[in-house]
Chain A
Amino acid sequence: AHDFRSRSDDSEDTELRFVTCQSLWNQIKSETEQIQEDLNKQLLDNLMNFLSRSLSEFREKTTEWTCRMKFREIPTAALVLGVNVTDHDSTFRSLSDVLQDNITPYIALLEAKDCPGIKNLMQKLMGQLMNCDIDVDPLEDEDSVQVSQNRIRCSMSSLISWYESVTKKTDSETPSKKRNSSSRHWQSPPVVVIFKDMESFSTKVLQDFIVISSQHIHELPLVLIFGIATSPMIIHRLLPHSVSSLLCIELFQSVSCKEHLSTIIDKLLLTSRFPFKLGEKVLQVLINIFLYHDFSVQNFIKGFQLCVVEHFYSQPLSVLCCQLVDVKKRVYSLSHDQCENIRRLPSFRRYVEKQESGKQVALLTNDSFLKEETEKLLEDLHVYHENYVSILRCLHVFTSSLPKYPLGKQIRELHCACLENRVWETEEYESSLQLARMLNKTDLVTMLQQCVEILTSSSGKEFDKTVEKLKEFLTQFQNLEAEASQEQDVSVSSQKELQKKTDLYHLQKTLLELKESRRSKKLTKFEMLRFEVVDYIDSLVRKYLVPADDRTLHEIMYFNAATILRGHLNAAPRTALHTALNNPHWYLKNQALKCDGGGISNKAPDICIVYKLHLECGRLINLVDWLEAFSTVVMAAEEPNADAASSDQVDDIIHARFIRAVSELELLGFIKPSKQKTDHVARLTWGGC
């Protein structure tokens, strides 16, 4: 296999890095697949129930079934999957796997692009069911006999005869085997036809297929599954009433892609299982591509993969980005160059500067001392991660129930905020603390209980004390309840007093007194306790949610090159072209091209000049004018010392250059030839510059 080795110039441990990268990625991949499976489980179970129900009805031939027979209804499952079409494939794959295992071996997956007509659809269907390629006459115009034969082969009746023969075969041939299989499949397993992308099928094909198969439903237990990306309404829009009444539709909803993403983030990023981490910017880019562009979890994972690869490829020290057990061995086998690499890390430099001078020298000169220190720092980093995740979840418990969600509803938003900078210095954090100080008791208690759960289940060792403290708060809250009733009495009595006085003057006086007392009054015990709790949470945040950029050696674990990622995943080809044409100096670092503000110099490459000139034109461009303008510019650039003798020659060359530039613009799609007027071209972009 190919690995990082080809870049052998400065980096070391390439092989090890590659292996680490691969194993890490494989872990992540299997994890994501597992997550997806878990998320789909509910949906698949429901579907499975539906199928077995419809099947049992078919077999039992109950009265209900007979009445359904009369109406020839095909059991149909409408699967609403959401707009992220690219993720559907995996769902369908797992669906067909599960069906294969549990219900029926006869499954056909149909896609719109394979079925432009009913004939193709039947071909595809039978081909998949019979598990062989039906070669429908390779030379269609050979003779009519063969054609008709083939048409027979691809009809519903042939499908039915095939089905009968298959089911009979299993019935008659080996009873023992049958029993075996019947444990998994029923006696007459249904034929499941899955339309992956129902919206893109042509309506005629769908209608024909449904009408035809409804005629044969009593011979062939057919079940349809529609994959729907938009809304269930589409069924009625695609199929007229006469057709849709042939279906007995049940609706199933898959997990929304946002939920899917949250789970992925939760399981991949907010965990200390994987040493590799995403920096704030990078995570932002990935999430934004997801939210603004495609809603595709698949693409998110692809972006994540790219991050992993980039990190291990570009950062020589990423060899240390491994599980804690391996760290020690790897640190001690570092070469001298790698040690130098560590010393060059900005976060390490900052760390060194904070040390006393003796240690500074040791760190900078003594490799083995450096290694020891590195190991310690890496362990610290691991501990930091473990604590970070738990406390982040605790904080999220608090912030996610506040009105207006100052720190975001999703934990990913909170995570980004914490990664970006010190979260306790932000305004949003301030306001959310304010809001937290106004929580009522029941909420507060449940939150504290949740936090206790999170902390006790976390792997961090430092949390024993914290848990104790939180439990203490909880008991204090319980104690409060007894006191609260007493307090209520007092307030009631004062209220009663208020009611006794009817005199206006006295009323005013007591009201004023009451107000005074309320202002000066000590906070109730509950309020004090609430303050204490919030302050404690605040202290936890300040201690554990330090942004990763402040940690020493964070470069080893965190991938932060958001620009690269964005360039590769969310590129802007038009912008690049625009920059190249308008400002060639951006790419060609030549002084002659440099000029101030907007304009380009007349020494710019031909295509830039031609482009700039064409921007000044309307819909049509006269080629003669264009040529003339071009030669004006170019001649000026080429020092007007050309003598008359060679001018003709020069003209030809300029003409040729102009032709080249214009045809290049045509290739790029800015202009096209126009027949509206002789020697004119049409502009294809509107506006410009």
Chain B
Amino acid sequence: MSRPEGTRSSRRSLQVKFVPDEDVLKHIADDAGTKVRKDKAQLSVSMKKFVKKLENISDNEAQEILEEKNYVATLGICAQDPVGNGSNISGGEVYSFQTPKRSSKMAELASELAQTPEQNVAPDHSKCPEKMAKTPQSSKMFLLLMHVFSLLFQSKNEEFVSTTPYRLRKRLAAPDPYLESESEYSASCSEEEHEEDQKEVNIVLSSQKTPGKTKAASTPPPRNSLSKKIKEQKMGNLVEEYFEAHSSSKVLTSDRTLQKLRKRRLNQQTLHELLKKAPLAYAAEIRDLNQQHESLFSKWMLQLHLGFNIVLYGLGSKRDLLEKFRTSLLQDSVHLVVNGYFPGITVRSILNSITEEVLDHIGTFRSPLDQLEFIIKRFKEDSSLELYVLIHNLDSQMLRGERSQQILAQLSSLPSIYLIASIDHINAPLMWDQAKLSLYNWLWYETTTFSPYVEETSYENSLLVQQSGSLALSSLTHVLHSLTLNARGIFRLLAQHQLEKKDNPSYPGLSFQDFYQQCREAFLVNSDLTLRAQLTEFRDHKLIRTKRGADGVEYLLIPVDDSTLTDFLEKEDEDV
């Protein structure tokens, strides 16, 4: 008995060290803590070992955080920056590793959030920068409260199911039949969740200690001999957890689908209209933010001229900001705006627009590299040439490739080309290696705007937006109208045939021979050569797709969904 007593007391003494001297609260905390601990001591020894291990880990983490902080401090971060780029958080806090979570946690958090904001003390430890800037006393207070909370939470663990918030239960009890099944699911789930949660809470508990420890001046001497072992252990844990989360092919989410919801899928247009009705939240604050950024315009201009290029990052669309920069300062100079988010953009088109529009060069190039060389030569020859290049979303799908970035970097390294670009993706900086970075010669500017990404997301094929095909429809009609009557007839035939077979999921398309036969019967073509010529034209406009089957037969298919095709045929009938 004496030995566990010893370890326990030592743990308690640790506790004393980092909890500040706020008398009353401390007593409460200690009492609750010991109670829980006593319970556990009776439970089993292995459980205690587990806790101890966690504690060790937390010690180690504290060490790491301390080191990280040191590093950050040497880099000269000051928390007092009033405008506040929120970059004074150490990396480990941002995307740390943690246990996997269950889907019902989301609903739980939602209901928690739905309550009044004062009450929401979610077990969440990302410390906002505001907090860090506060006096140490208050933050210690906060920590302590969190500690108490977590302990209470732990002790209440037994009746976890009943803590499912009222609002959620009400929702679950809604009359819809599919929701009924959902409630069953969550009930069954909560059973196994119990254990999981306990573990999580333990982690909460231990992670609570870490910041306190870093603050305490008298940290216990680092157990160096032990720390290595602990580190290995920790690594092992992390790896295990990672694979635990990723190996199981079983997906622990509910089986509900959007189709079961009564809601129809919205298409792009209705979405826009609906969003127009929704007022933009915090418009005044966003305007303030934008004004702050706009005051930097002249500085940007200066720095561009001094050979730097500027990259903007931060949450929110930076399109309007760049547009404003363009309209206010670049009206009289040659500039090129590249909408990187546009799905059809390529480096080639950027280079083309430089050679054709800016340099007035007529002619083609064998490769983008040749084109780049030509541009570089021209700009070096003529020092009076100046070009501002604005790229919205330099990190978009089409431009993020290695080769495109290399070309853009080389372009931007020209002294008379001024590049100002924006990035949004969280991994965007990974595009650039040292060589490219030095070519780009970036100056980073944080421009968090919180404006919605209206333009940028409008091209994305979001899951929730119905693939409206309105674009395809209009292009179909446009192309078809420019064709001969016979060609239109040929396309109609194909479309009709495809619609007839729309119930067959494995429909491969119409074989060329059959199609030729049908066209001949309709007096649309007189030889298979004319038909082939016609099909080539369709193919060039991406109206049809050809595929060779297993037997070597050519199959023709219109790559448009059925509803669009139906619409198209209806429209055609109206016109005729």
Contacts and interface: CB of A to CB of B under 8 A. Distances in A.
Contacts of B271: 656, 659-660
Interface residues of A, number: 123
B434 A583 contact: no
Interface string B117-152: 110111011111111000000000010001000000
B94 A599 contact: no
A658 B106 CA distance: 15
B103 to A, nearest CB: 6
Contact of A285 (B76, B260, B427): B76
A169 B282 CA distance: 78
Interface stretch (B52-60, B285-293, B492-500): B285-293
A202 to B, nearest CB: 15
Interface stretch (B85-93, B215-223, B350-358, B534-542): B85-93
B226 interface: no
Interface string A99-117: 0000000000000011000
B23 to A, nearest CB: 22
Nearest to B410: A113
B478 interface: no
B263 interface: yes
A417 B298 CA distance: 36
Given A600-B113, A662-B464, A625 B253 contact: yes
B235 interface: no
B465 interface: yes
Contact of B75 (A288, A620, A624, A679): A288
B271 to A, nearest CB: 5
A139 to B, nearest CB: 9
A284 interface: yes
B438 A86 contact: yes
Given A302-B441, A587-B289, A601-B120, A656 B428 contact: no
Interface string B420-440: 000111111100001101100
- Tell which of A294, A299, A587 has the most Cβ of chain B within 10 Å: A587
Nearest to B365: A138
A7 B98 CA distance: 48
A573 B245 contact: no
B347 to A, nearest CB: 14
Interface stretch (B26-34, B443-451, B515-523, B525-533): B443-451
B463 interface: yes
A531 to B, nearest CB: 35
A625 B314 CA distance: 28
A171 to B, nearest CB: 33
A617 B101 contact: yes
Contact of A617 (B105, B308, B406, B464): B105
A583 B129 contact: yes
A64 interface: no
A587 B111 contact: no
Interface stretch (A267-275, A498-506, A606-614): A606-614
Contacts of A614: 106
A240 interface: no
B444 A577 contact: no
A671 B149 CA distance: 32
A612 B271 CA distance: 23
A236 interface: no
A588 B242 CA distance: 36
A21 B112 CA distance: 56
Given A288-B75, A574-B94, A588-B282, A676 B251 contact: yes
A618 interface: yes
A309 B303 contact: yes
Contacts of A664: 452-453, 457
- Tell which of B77, B110, B460 has the most Cβ of chain A within 10 Å: B110
A663 B106 contact: no
A420 B92 CA distance: 28
B495 to A, nearest CB: 28
B59 to A, nearest CB: 20
B45 interface: no
B13 interface: no
A234 interface: no
Interface residues of B, number: 123
Interface string B525-569: 000000000000000000000000000000000000000000000
Contacts of A629: 106-107, 109-110
Given A284-B74, A583-B128, A599-B122, A622 B171 contact: no
A618 B425 contact: no
Nearest to A678: B257
Contacts of B450: 580, 584, 587-588, 605
Interface stretch (B1-9, B272-280, B482-490): B272-280
Given A575-B91, A664-B457, A686-B242, A613 B110 contact: yes
A426 to B, nearest CB: 16
A670 interface: yes
Contacts of B434: 85-86, 294, 296
Contact of A620 (B253, B438, B446): B253
A174 interface: no
B117 A632 contact: no
Given A657-B275, A667-B453, A579 B86 contact: yes
Contact of A588 (B113, B115, B263, B285): B285
Given A587-B448, A597-B121, A622 B253 contact: yes
Contacts of A632: 107, 110-111, 114, 167-168, 171
A652 interface: yes
B115 A636 contact: yes
A653 interface: yes
Interface in A1-20: 1-4, 6-7
A478 to B, nearest CB: 45
A114 B403 CA distance: 11
Interface string B247-273: 000011111111111010010001100
A67 interface: no
A615 B257 CA distance: 20
B167 A588 contact: no
Given A651-B263, A659-B462, A686-B95, A599 B124 contact: yes
Nearest to A564: B81
B254 A625 contact: yes
Nearest to A302: B441
B124 A306 contact: no
Contact of A598 (B118, B124, B251, B253): B124
B302 A567 contact: no
A603 interface: yes
Interface string A610-652: 0011111111111111111110110111000000000000011
- Tell which of B97, B113, B127, B252 has the most Cβ of chain A within 10 Å: B113
A577 B445 CA distance: 13
Contacts of A687: 95-98
A247 interface: no
B369 interface: yes
Interface of B: 71, 74-78, 81, 84-87, 89, 91, 94-98, 100-103, 105-115, 117-118, 120-122, 124-131, 142, 146, 167-168, 171, 242, 245-246, 251-261, 263, 266, 270-271, 274-275, 277-278, 281-282, 285-286, 288-289, 298-299, 301-303, 305-306, 308, 313-316, 364, 366, 369, 406, 423-429, 434-435, 437-438, 441, 443-446, 448, 450, 452-453, 456-457, 460-465
17 contacts: A1-B305, A292-B71, A565-B76, A567-B444, A576-B87, A580-B315, A582-B126, A602-B114, A618-B252, A624-B257, A632-B114, A632-B168, A653-B278, A656-B270, A667-B460, A669-B424, A687-B95
Name the 7 nearest CB pairs between A and B, nearest first.
A579-B86, A571-B444, A636-B114, A629-B110, A562-B76, A601-B117, A580-B315
Interface of A: 1-4, 6-7, 85-86, 113-114, 138, 140, 281-282, 284-285, 288-289, 292, 294, 296, 298-299, 302, 305-306, 309, 313, 562-563, 565-590, 593, 595-603, 605-607, 609, 612-630, 632-633, 635-637, 651-653, 655-660, 662-664, 666-670, 673, 676-681, 685-689
